[in-house]
Structure 1
Amino acid sequence: MNLRGKGALALWNGIDPARRAEYDLWHTREHVPERVAVPGMIGARRYVRVAGPLPEYLTLYDMADTHVLSSEAYLRLLNNPTPWSKSMRPSFRGFMRLCCRRELSIGGGLGAALGAAVLADGPALSSSAFLAAVRGLTSQPGIVAVHLLVREEAVPDVPFTIGGDAPDFPRGGALLLEGYDDDALAACFSAVKAALEALAGTASGLTSYRLACAVDRDSLERLTPVKAPASVLHPETGTLSSRA
């Protein structure tokens, strides 16, 4: 499942450890499917951190373009969360959201391993030197695809607070590196860091992730929905319990 759209939404977050299993269920069976059903969404992937400083989870949405995030259908979901979604928001930790255009993709396929670094603002993101360095990364044996995402500043952030403090990382874009194996990808990180030096210190947080789940629009009709746990909803009324 290549990235196919012109836009990408990258979201990082941690979660209250007491709700980690619930988060995985909610995110997989309710939250991501309702987002992917929005017109213009192509698919989504959730990754879990293996090692590195960025937050525990990375969710990557593939979009036709960044206008999807200002569409009526998307804003309706954002501003009218389900009871389960509303109950999960305070349990997030270190939430970070980047709406980006897909500047460059080299290589192909979907790797089970992912390397991610966040990039600062500045013209260096589109400089010929940096783009050449990015293109050269697929010559590394452990890297099957590289994606350069550049933030669209015109897209506003979410209009509400999500639990926990936001992490202090650059937010100009992201470099994503797909691989077939955690160790094989990690062995390429020295070459990745050398490429990032072309940004003169405006990149940070190189972190390795493992794919947990991926879904696209074509598979939505085959997904089986699940209900929120009884600890979140009153089973008789379907309303939020005191936990939220």
Structure 2
Amino acid sequence: MTMETKGLLTLWLHLEPAYEEAMDAWYNYEHTDVVLGVPGVLGSRRFKSTEPYTPNQLRYLVFYEMADERVQESAPFQAIVDAPTPWSRYLRTLYQMRRRTNYKLLWSRETLPVEREAALLLVRSSCDDSAPEHDAGLAALLVDFLEQPYARAGQLYQAVPNRFGIADGAHAEPRRESLELYSFDRYDPDIVNHWIDQRRRRIAKMPAMLNELSADTFVPTIVPRRKASSPEQAA
């Protein structure tokens, strides 16, 4: 992520493996460039689950890094959603968007650039609105993570009200949701699982009740994309 990134839009997709190549081509040759053209969208990253394919799996993950959490509701961003290109309309028949959540950044620290990212652990949690002190506990946990083997970066986000979100059935967004991102510069399943166990033991000792919604590991499928600098910015 860039220093200017204060918002994160996450898209969780389900797609049959046979269509993965078609989706990658769409993102690589059209859609990512279109989204990066929106004012306030600063970068894009894509990932795939490390788990074997299952029919109901949230297998694919897309990040759009934004200047803040309000970019998604801007007119230029919504124009992409409301007036899709022919290629986008076709891709929408191939994938299902199971979850779309907009987050604001609470805490971030990197020890290596994002280009060194080899694996990403995402932990979603919910807690009572009356217990905001859990944010400080999670930030301290992220600091400790950076001392672990292969730790590259840690971020803490909070979900914001999102009238464009996907929120139905088991995937409904909770009243207060936190997103912890644990980035590794090398993918070692044993190291990742060890950290998950450490985290859960630490969470159990926190005064605020924290309910883990999901803990998933992904690997990047592309080199992170960044918005091209304008001639004025480059000067």
TM-score range, shorter chain: 0.7 to 0.9
Q: Does 1:174 align with 2:182?
A: no
| Letter of the structure 2 residue corresponding to residue 16 of structure 1 | E
In structure 2, relative to structure 1, the CA distance for the partners of 1:166 and 1:62 (3 Å cut) is farther
Q: Which moved more, 1:5-14 or 1:191-200?
A: 191-200
Report the equivalent of 2:163.
Answer: 156
Report the equivalent of 2:218.
Answer: 209
Q: Which moved more, 1:34-43 or 1:107-116?
A: 107-116
Contact 2:124 2:179 in 1 (8 A): yes
Q: Where in structure 2 are there 5+ consecutive unaligned residues? A: 231-235
Report the equivalent of 1:65.
Answer: 68
| Letter of the structure 2 residue corresponding to residue 147 of structure 1 | Q
TM-score, normalising length: structure 1: 0.77
In structure 2, relative to structure 1, the CA distance for the partners of 1:166 and 1:3 (3 Å cut) is farther
In structure 2, relative to structure 1, the CA distance for the partners of 1:136 and 1:125 (3 Å cut) is farther
In structure 2, relative to structure 1, the CA distance for the partners of 1:21 and 1:63 (3 Å cut) is same
Percent identity over paired residues: 22
In structure 2, relative to structure 1, the CA distance for the partners of 1:46 and 1:55 (3 Å cut) is same
Report the equivalent of 1:8.
Answer: 8
Contact 1:137 1:191 in 2 (8 A): no
Report the equivalent of 2:120.
Answer: 114
Structure 1 residue runs of 4 or more that deviate by more than 4 Å after TM superposition: none
Over the aligned positions, Cα root-mean-square deviation in angstroms equals 2.8
2:153 to 145, 148, 153: 145
Contact 2:120 2:219 in 1 (8 A): yes
In structure 2, relative to structure 1, the CA distance for the partners of 1:157 and 1:146 (3 Å cut) is same
CA distance in 1, matches of 2:229, 2:22: 22
Output one character per residue of 1:3-25: Cα deviation in whole Å (capped at 9) or x when no partner. 64111111111113331210111
Q: Where in structure 1 are there 5+ consecutive unaligned residues? A: 221-244
Contact 1:95 1:166 in 2 (8 A): no
